[in-house]
Amino acid sequence: MDEYLQYMKTLRSQMNDVEDQAAKISVEEQMQLTTIQTMENDLNSAKSETKQLKEDTELMMKAKGQICSKILEKQRKFASLESDSSSLTQTFELIQQQRANLSTKLMEKSTYYTKVAEDMNAKLQQQQDWVESKKPSRELEEHDLLSAGLYEPNWTQQKAITS
């Protein structure tokens, strides 16, 4: 019976060892299951973040496309305005040149007409002076002709002239 008890003790010891090992394996298995679940959760989170990053990237690419489109539109508009500005500047310069030319011509014509007016005034003055210088002698001639009876004045014409 001693042997039997010895076997039983050995068996009990072996069973305790097996139970300890089973408990260790169970704990280890539980730890591995927990680790696997944590890794699966991390993987799902990473997949979700990757999906969100892709969506964010697509939104940023769309926004970038819109911004680039607006930039190109503004650049075209700017180039058009620069062209218009250049054309307007050239037109303004031509207008300034024409204005200067017309001003010069106007001054030349003004000078010409002033000279013509001065010449005409001088000639008129000469004629008036000549008429004034001849007036007393004409009155004398008329007087002489009247007294000789050779001249009859037209008083109606003189009245119309003097009125």
pLDDT the model gives residue 63 = 97
| Whole-number Cα distances in Å, 99 to 5, 89, 92, 96, 106 | 135, 15, 10, 5, 10
Any idea what the Cα angle at residue 80 is, between residues 76 and 65, rounded to 5°? 10
Return the biggest CA–CA distance within the chain.
210
In the chain, DSSP finds a helix count (H) and a strand count (E) of 2, 0
Name the pLDDT band for 153 (thresholds 50, 70, 90): low
Using left for φ > 0, alpha for ψ between -120 and 50, and beta otherwise, residue 154 falls in beta
Average the pLDDT over 4-30 and give the result: 92
**pLDDT single digits (tens) 55-95:** 999 999 999 999 999 999 999 999 999 999 999 999 999 99
Quick one: what percent of the chain has pLDDT higher than 90?
Answer: 71
Res. 134 pLDDT band, cuts 50 70 90: confident
Mean pLDDT, the chain, whole residue set: 88
Rounded Cα–Cα distance for residues 109 and 100 (Å): 14
% of residues, the chain, pLDDT over 70: 83
d(C-alpha 161, C-alpha 155), whole Å:
10
Q: Cα(144)–Cα(136) distance, rounded to whole angstroms?
A: 12
Between 47 and 140, whose confidence is greater?
A: 47
| Count of structural domains, the chain | 1
pLDDT at 144 over 70: no
What is the domain range of residue 50? 2-162
For 84-101, the pLDDT digits (tens) are 999 999 999 999 999 999
